[in-house]
Amino acid sequence: MQHRPRAWALLALSAYALALAAVLLQPSAGAAITTVGGVSDWLRETLGAPREVVSNARVEFVLNALMVAPVTFLGSWLLPRLRVVDWWFYAFCAAALVEAFQGLFLAGRTAEFVDIIGNSLGAALGAWAAVGRRNLTDRSGLPSGAAR
């Protein structure tokens, strides 16, 4: 029974990593641009957020962070011995590689340093969320392996 949550985390991480790779390695930035514009418009029109606050650049930064957080959250669940700083470092390196690949090999994409920073921030947030989940689970009285 203890291994079931870990198996689900591994399945979720694998599926999410494949979907993330498909998004990051698209030859065109069209889908990303459409998504950022749609979220920006939704925040302004539905929530009344001011245009100055909800610029496309800011929305893209936040979406880049949110896009990576599930990877380190699930990864931290599977490999709890790695520290937040370890996850941050690995995510920073992976983001740099992805941006280099996009800039060098995908004519419709550009390499952006700010994307590496956003991805790295999201990685740290995901790992910290996993630490918080682990701390809550440990306090609940469940066996430590039951929720990991």
For residues 1 and 142, the answer to whether their CB atoms sit within 8 Å is: no
Tell me the C-alpha to C-alpha distance, in Å, between residue 43 and each of 37, 38, 77, 97: 10, 9, 32, 31
Q: Tell me the average pLDDT across 100-117.
A: 95
- What distance in Å separates the CA atoms of residue 147 and residue 64, rounded to the nearest whole number? 28
- What distance in Å separates the CA atoms of residue 34 and residue 43, rounded to the nearest whole number? 14
Q: Residue 146 pLDDT more than 50?
A: no
Q: Residue 1 pLDDT more than 50?
A: no
Q: What is residue 148's predicted lDDT score, i.e. its pLDDT?
A: 40
Q: What is residue 48's predicted lDDT score, i.e. its pLDDT?
A: 96
Q: Residue 32 pLDDT more than 70?
A: yes
Structure confidence at residue 2 as a pLDDT band (50, 70, 90): low
Q: Can you give the pTM of this predicted structure? A: 0.85
- What distance in Å separates the CA atoms of residue 128 and residue 140, rounded to the nearest whole number? 18
pLDDT tens, 49-100?
999 999 999 999 999 999 999 999 999 989 989 998 999 999 999 999 999 9
Structure confidence at residue 140 as a pLDDT band (50, 70, 90): low
For residues 43 and 62, the answer to whether their CB atoms sit within 8 Å is: no
Identify the CA nearest to 109 among candidates 24, 15, 12, 50.
Answer: 24
Structure confidence at residue 133 as a pLDDT band (50, 70, 90): confident
Q: What is residue 5's predicted lDDT score, i.e. its pLDDT?
A: 79
Longest dimension (CA), the chain: 53
Average per-residue pLDDT for the chain = 90
